[in-house]
């Protein structure tokens, strides 16, 4: 068994795995700008291709020459064992995770190395929990999935709002409805590849369909039921935010993560706690029409990606792995989320915002800060080895980091605000 002392003696605080990819490069750039290298934070970039990593390193900015490069391959367990034993924490951007992530998680679990990633692939997380939870508890490895746009704003926003309700009114929320008020951003080739892979797995594997179809599909075994039904799948009017709403594509993972957090935190939000997500589309006929068109676009994408010929066509139209939104688009991007929490007659609203695009500009900071939190504050986190969520593992410490360094904010709104 590895204890935290031996972890603390390792050469690196953290390793960015997949630093040659679109998101991995942004994480490396963020860490270099924020923490330098080899000082307060000892970190390295890693991947499978030395030449590619060197090219990426050259483009990272001042001081980048000092960032060490390490090599391994996702499907070579010996190379992964050698990699993860050098560091306290691995943060991974190598996806689709269901295709390229399993051996890395197994290696971290063996070595007692903490791990965080930006997967949104619920079916894969379920497989990893079922395969490795016990061994992670024994080795001391803390595995924290979903440390990007899915699902940090939802998971930490829900924690923040529940704590506020508890502090003000002495009770957690009975329900929280998360509504995306505004958002600007686009997806990378790697993200589309992961979505297409999940659709493919759901088509061919009944267990995947069961996991994805269960609102509590990520909860601990024996606790996979509760009061929530399926995610919203059609346009709906929401009087609490005075807006039409449409299904939100990330709800499929975010809602599961929030419910798992509640279970892992001994039902701090209550056993009857309810949670939902949707996108606000505005009032009147225009708001309704937008909700209808988003619903139709999502259904169309799902259909096209599950049928052979259109799936092949999508593969040609979508960005390739390694491609993603431009620096300008990331700078101009943002998200603005409102969470409406209710406890009996009482209502509180929280606002979660970021000043960069959700998928990359903000995600690279969320993942970077999650990894730094595990690496530098790991001894002060009140969690042992096992599979955790961002809220249950790092909670308010991570909120503070994201507010201080990552351009994010978590705040309560005046009680009567919330119009579209
Ligand atoms: N949760 C969120 O909010 C969020 C946001 C953004 C992205 N994501 C997820 O993050 C993942 C990455 O997205 P991306 O756009 O950054 O993808 P990408 O640009 O295609 O990068 C993928 C990375 O994986 C590496 N890789 C692939 N196979 C490998 C192997 N066998 N061994 C070692 N490395 C290997 C690639 O290395 P090479 O460069 O050598 O090919 C590259 O570094 C996707 O799963 C995406 O869905 C999640």
**What pairing do the DSSP bridges indicate for beta strands 142-144 and 114-117?**
parallel
Q: Pocket of ligand 1, candidates 93, 151, 365, 369: which has the most ligand atoms within 8 Å of its Cβ, to mutate?
A: 93
Residue to substitute in 15, 21, 249 for testing ligand 1 pocket (most ligand atoms within 8 angstroms of CB): 21
19 alpha carbon – ligand 1 mean position (Å): 9
Minimum CA distance residue for ligand 1 atom 47 = 191
Q: 18 C-alpha to center of ligand 1: Å?
A: 6
Centre of ligand 1 to C-alpha 93, Å, is 5
Looking from the CA of residue 73, the nearest atom of ligand 1 is: 32
Residue of minimum CA distance from atom 6 in ligand 1: 359
Q: Is residue 292 part of a domain?
A: yes
pLDDT of residue 7: 84
**Residue 343 lies inside a defined structural domain of this protein:** yes
Do residues 83 and 159 both lie within one domain?
A: no
Is 419 inside a domain boundary? no
Ligand 1 contacts (CB < 6 A) are 18, 20-24, 47-49, 52, 73-75, 93-97, 100, 118, 120, 148-150, 188-191, 194, 321-322, 324, 359-360, 363
Residue 420 lies in a domain: no
Nearest atom in ligand 1 to the alpha carbon of residue 20 is 43
Residues 351 and 382 reside in one and the same domain: no
Residue 48 placed within a domain: yes
The H or E element spanning position 87 is: strand 87-92
| Shared domain check, 370 and 350 | no
Residue 208 and residue 302 share a domain: yes
- Do 258 and 328 sit in the same domain of this protein? yes
Do 306 and 182 lie in a common domain?
A: yes
pLDDT given at position 416: 64
Residues 189 and 251 in one domain: yes
CB environment 62-89: b (16+ within 10 A), e (fewer): eebeebbbbebebeeeebbbebbbbbbb
Question: Which residue has its alpha carbon closest to ligand 1 atom 13?
Answer: 190
First to last CA, the chain: 53
Determine, yes or no, domain membership for 156: yes
Domain count of the fold of the chain: 2
Take residue 276 and report the two structure tokens written for it. 């939902």
Please identify which residue in the block is written with the tokens 């599961």.
256
Output the residue whose Cα is nearest ligand 1's atom 39.
20
Cα separation of 317 and 253, whole Å?
25
Which pLDDT value is given to residue 18?
A: 98
pLDDT in tens, the chain (420 residues): 444 447 889 999 999 999 999 999 999 999 999 999 989 999 999 999 999 999 999 999 889 999 999 999 999 999 999 999 999 999 999 999 999 999 999 999 999 999 999 999 999 999 999 999 999 999 999 999 999 999 999 999 999 999 999 999 999 999 999 999 999 998 878 788 888 888 888 888 999 999 999 999 999 999 999 999 999 999 999 999 999 999 999 999 999 999 999 999 999 999 999 999 999 999 999 999 999 999 999 998 888 887 777 877 777 777 787 888 889 989 899 999 999 999 999 999 999 999 988 889 999 999 999 999 999 998 999 999 999 999 999 999 999 999 999 999 999 998 764 443
Residue 418: inside a domain: no
Kindly give the number of the ligand 1 atom that is closest to the alpha carbon of 95.
45
144 lies in the same domain as 158: no
Residues 126 and 169 in one domain: no
Owning domain of residue 316: 152-358+407-413
Q: Domain check: are 189 and 338 in the same one?
A: yes
User: How much distance in Å is there from the Cα of 196 to the middle of ligand 1?
Assistant: 14
Give the sign of the dihedral formed by CA 360, CA 366, CA 369, CA 370: negative
Same domain? 205 vs 98: no
What is the whole-number distance in angstroms between the Cα of residue 96 and the centre of ligand 1? Answer: 7
Residue 216 sits in the same domain as residue 141: no
CA 55 to ligand 1 center in whole angstroms: 17
Distance 73 CA to ligand 1 centre (A): 13
**Ligand 1 mean position to 91 CA, how many Å?**
12
Say how far residue 25 (Cα) sits from the centre of its chain: 17
CATH of the domain at 399: 3.40.50.720
């Amino acid at each position: 068994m590895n204890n935290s002392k031996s972890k603390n003696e390792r050469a690196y605080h953290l390793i960015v795995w997949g630093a040659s990819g679109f998101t991995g490069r942004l994480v490396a750039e963020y860490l270099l700008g924020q923490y330098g290298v080899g000082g307060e934070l000892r970190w390295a970039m890693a991947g499978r291709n030395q030449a590619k990593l060197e090219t990426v390193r050259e483009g990272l900015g001042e001081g980048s020459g000092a960032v060490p490069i390490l090599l391994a391959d996702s499907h070579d367990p010996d190379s992964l064992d050698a990699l993860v034993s050098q560091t306290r924490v691995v943060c991974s951007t190598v996806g689709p995770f269901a295709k390229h992530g399993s051996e890395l998680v197994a290696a971290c679990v063996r070595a007692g190395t903490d791990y965080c990633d930006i997967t949104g692939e619920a079916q894969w997380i379920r497989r990893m929990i079922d395969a490795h939870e016990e061994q992670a508890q024994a080795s001391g490895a803390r595995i924290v999935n979903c440390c990007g746009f899915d699902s940090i704003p939802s998971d930490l926003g829900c924690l923040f709002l529940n704590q506020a309700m508890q502090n003000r009114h002495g009770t957690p929320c009975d329900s929280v409805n998360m509504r995306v008020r505004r958002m600007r951003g686009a997806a990378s080739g790697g993200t589309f590849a992961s979505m297409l892979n999940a659709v493919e797995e759901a088509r061919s594997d009944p267990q995947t369909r069961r996991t994805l179809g269960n609102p509590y599909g990520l909860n601990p075994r024996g606790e996979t039921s509760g009061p929530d039904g399926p995610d919203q799948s059609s346009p709906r009017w929401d009087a609490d935010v005075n807006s039409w709403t449409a299904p939100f594509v990330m709800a499929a993972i975010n809602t599961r993560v929030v419910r798992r957090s509640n279970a892992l935190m001994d039902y701090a939000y209550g056993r009857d706690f309810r949670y939902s997500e949707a996108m606000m589309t505005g009032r009147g006929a225009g708001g309704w029409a937008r909700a209808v068109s988003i619903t139709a676009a999502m259904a169309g994408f799902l259909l096209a990606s599950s049928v052979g010929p259109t799936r092949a066509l999508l593969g040609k139209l979508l960005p390739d792995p390694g491609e993603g939104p431009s620096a300008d688009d990331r700078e101009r991007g943002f998200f603005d989320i409102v969470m409406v929490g209710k406890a009996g007659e009482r209502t509180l609203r929280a606002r979660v915002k970021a000043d960069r695009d959700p998928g990359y500009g903000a995600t690279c900071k969320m993942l970077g800060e999650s990894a730094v939190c595990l690496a530098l504050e790991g001894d002060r986190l009140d969690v042992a080895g096992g599979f955790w969520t961002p809220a249950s593992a790092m909670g308010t410490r991570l909120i503070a980091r994201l507010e201080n360094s990552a351009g994010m904010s978590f705040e309560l709104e005046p009680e009567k605000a919330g119009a579209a």
